[in-house]
Chain A
Amino acid sequence: MHALVVSGLRKVYEGSGRRVEAVRDLTFTVEAGELVCLVGPSGCGKTTLLKCMGGLLTPTGGEVRLAGEKVSGPPPGMAFVFQEYGRSLFPWMRVGENVELPLKQKGLSKARRRELVSDALESVGLADAAGAYPWQLSGGMQQRVAIARALAYEPQVLLMDEPFAAVDAQTRADLEDLVRGLWRERGITILFVTHDIDEAVYLGQRVIVLSASPTVVQEQLKVDLPDERDQLHTRVAPRFAELRTHVYEQIQSAKRGTPSLTKTDTPPPH
């Protein structure tokens, strides 16, 4: 059984006299334990798609299934990391409390909560920041707290919406390695939205390219790079360059609105 199934998903925003068809018809699956990156032109409905998957928005048509169950509200096995990390953390709670709050909601015992919180904070390298307020931390640290909060929740599926769009390049590289490390360590299914082609190819086992609005799946691409990746060598590998060029071309043609001829394949090595 697939971990995630999105079938015929459609979302139309209506209200205040404006009608926007953000997502037209999306169908794809994600396997358990997979790390899939979603790329697409700005405004093509990536956030909309993720919110429908996370049960935060009700789709206009089609459905999302998590482990066979239809998603109709935020499912307990799913965690969401928002692009706006600064606003997603609660400034009135210390870092530790931010991470702990969802666990209280789950009804876990105090001992178990403490264990999960310190374990999650340690995983992201913030073991000694538990007592700080989020606004006392740098942007990159805040995003790591948001990731720790998601990890502590022990989700089967982690949805990440352009989580590193607002941090500097160096921090971003560190956070990318952090996510890949956590993924390999914990075996979580991750769906990672980004507008950065390099990031998508570097991180993903598979890249799903979305078309411009009205959005459909433009192409799916398997990233046949070795599992051991590092910023220095992977990014200069010839295969990396081929893949990123291919995705780049797909996105360009997505912007022009030309449908792709190839679906679900890998570009042949040159």
Chain B
Amino acid sequence: MKGLNLALGAAGLAVFLALGEVVPRLGLVEEAYFPPTSRIADALADELSDGTFWTALGDTLTGWGLGLLIASTAGIVAGVVISVVPYLRDATASTIEFLRPIPSVALIPLAVLLYGTELRSVLLLVVYASFWQVLIQVLYGVQDLDPVAEETARSYGLGTWARIRHVLWPTALPYVMTGVRLAAAVALILAVTAELVIGAPGLGQRIAVAQNSQAVPEMYALVVVTGLLGLLINVGARTVERRALAWHQSVRGEVAV
């Protein structure tokens, strides 16, 4: 079954790539804007042997990783504090509901004003967008706390800190993992967007440069790289999740009752 799925997936991809090769060559689409697969592959190979490409990739990953780290840490700490301190949740609910829907890209002018084209510009956008993903999940996760587990911990004399560490945190962990996985995807989008629009160094900026110099196959090659990056990030996050949550129902494959 699994082998069959894999074969079907590979066949589908092969057909897609073949179409990408044939359609432009037949002149069905403008070859200048839709280069055939082989030319994109050539451009990709050129990129991979170019040192500046790797620098750009490193810049993008730095913005992504650093931003994700800051956002996750802040989201987790804020989520736990908001849930643990009495009344804080109610007091912050409306503010969160107001700030959360603001699209991160709407902050681009602010980022430019504050930091120009520096890394910090990218970080501002990445952190703002990913923070909410983590925070909201943590807030949900903490609500999942079982009162019986909590009372058990109290009856055995566990203090506030020990209860956060041994009961609250493991309860919220599946949600935190989901939050970080979603945040990782969003962070990549925002990192590339910021580079593309603001011109901060990275893959996004390289795409913009390729576009300006009419290097269409290179542009596609870079887009493919960002896509692969997103794929790797998702696969990686899911692997970490499965490892860390081996005990958890969603991974154990049982129906929660």
Interface residues of A in 73-112 (CB under 8 A from B): 74, 76, 78-80, 82, 84, 87-88, 90-92, 101-102, 105-106
Residue of A nearest to B159 (CB): A105
The verdict on B30 contacting chain A, using a C-beta distance below 8 Å, is no
**Complex-state Cα separation, A79 to B154, whole angstroms:** 11
Given the known inter-chain contacts A82-B152, A88-B148, A90-B170, please indicate yes or no for A74 contacting B248, CB distance below 8 A. no
Quick check: A87 and B148 within 8 Å, CB to CB?
yes
**Complex-state Cα separation, A100 to B52, whole angstroms:** 55
Residue of B nearest to A102 (CB): B156
Partner of A80, one of B155, B158, B162, B173: B155
Q: List A contacts of B248 (CB < 8 A).
A: 91-92
How many Å from the CB of A148 to the closest CB on chain B? Answer: 13
**Complex-state Cα separation, A40 to B57, whole angstroms:** 70
Q: List B contacts of A74 (CB < 8 A).
A: 154-157
**Complex-state Cα separation, A102 to B158, whole angstroms:** 7
Q: List A contacts of B166 (CB < 8 A).
A: 90, 101
Interface residues of A in 129-177 (CB under 8 A from B): 133, 135, 149, 153
**Complex-state Cα separation, A87 to B252, whole angstroms:** 17
How many Å from the CB of A256 to the closest CB on chain B? Answer: 33
Residue of B nearest to A76 (CB): B157
Q: List B contacts of A106 (CB < 8 A).
A: 157
**Complex-state Cα separation, A76 to B158, whole angstroms:** 10
Quick check: B149 and A56 within 8 Å, CB to CB?
no
Residue of B nearest to A82 (CB): B148
Interface residues of A in 179-228 (CB under 8 A from B): none
Q: List A contacts of B249 (CB < 8 A).
A: 91
The verdict on A54 contacting chain B, using a C-beta distance below 8 Å, is yes
Quick check: B156 and A56 within 8 Å, CB to CB?
no
Please give the number of chain A residues whose Cβ is less than 8 angstroms from any Cβ of chain B in the complex.
Answer: 24
How many Å from the CB of B172 to the closest CB on chain A? Answer: 11
Residue of A nearest to B170 (CB): A92
Given the known inter-chain contacts A76-B157, A90-B170, A102-B156, please indicate yes or no for A135 contacting B149, CB distance below 8 A. no
Interface residues of B in 118-157 (CB under 8 A from A): 146, 148-149, 151-152, 154-157
Q: List A contacts of B167 (CB < 8 A).
A: 90
Quick check: B157 and A135 within 8 Å, CB to CB?
no
How many Å from the CB of A186 to the closest CB on chain B? Answer: 18
**Complex-state Cα separation, A254 to B236, whole angstroms:** 62
Q: List B contacts of A54 (CB < 8 A).
A: 155
The verdict on B98 contacting chain A, using a C-beta distance below 8 Å, is no
The verdict on B87 contacting chain A, using a C-beta distance below 8 Å, is no
Partner of A133, one of B157, B170, B173, B247: B247
Quick check: A153 and B148 within 8 Å, CB to CB?
no
Interface residues of B in 147-189 (CB under 8 A from A): 148-149, 151-152, 154-158, 162, 166-167, 170, 173
Q: List A contacts of B157 (CB < 8 A).
A: 74, 76, 102, 105-106
Residue of A nearest to B156 (CB): A102
Q: List B contacts of A55 (CB < 8 A).
A: 155
How many Å from the CB of A205 to the closest CB on chain B? Answer: 24
Q: List A contacts of B154 (CB < 8 A).
A: 56, 74
How many Å from the CB of B161 to the closest CB on chain A? Answer: 11
Partner of A56, one of B155, B247, B254: B155
Tell me which of A76, A92, A106 has the highest count of chain B C-beta atoms within 10 A of its own C-beta: A92
Partner of A90, one of B149, B155, B162, B252: B149
Q: List A contacts of B162 (CB < 8 A).
A: 105
Quick check: B170 and A56 within 8 Å, CB to CB?
no
Q: List B contacts of A56 (CB < 8 A).
A: 151, 154-155
**Complex-state Cα separation, A108 to B173, whole angstroms:** 28
Given the known inter-chain contacts A56-B155, A74-B157, A153-B156, please indicate yes or no for A88 contacting B170, CB distance below 8 A. no
**Complex-state Cα separation, A218 to B149, whole angstroms:** 32
**Complex-state Cα separation, A241 to B15, whole angstroms:** 81
Quick check: B158 and A87 within 8 Å, CB to CB?
no
**Complex-state Cα separation, A87 to B144, whole angstroms:** 12
In order of increasing CB-CB distance, the 5 nearest A-B pairs are A102-B156, A87-B148, A80-B155, A92-B170, A88-B152
Excluding A82-B151, A88-B149, A101-B156, 20 further A-B contacts by CB distance (< 8 Å) are: A54-B155, A56-B151, A56-B155, A74-B154, A74-B155, A80-B152, A82-B148, A84-B148, A87-B146, A87-B148, A88-B148, A90-B149, A90-B166, A90-B170, A91-B247, A101-B158, A101-B166, A102-B157, A105-B157, A135-B254
**Which B residues are closer than 8 A to A by beta carbons?**
146, 148-149, 151-152, 154-158, 162, 166-167, 170, 173, 247-249, 252, 254
**Which A residues are closer than 8 A to B by beta carbons?**
51, 54-56, 74, 76, 78-80, 82, 84, 87-88, 90-92, 101-102, 105-106, 133, 135, 149, 153
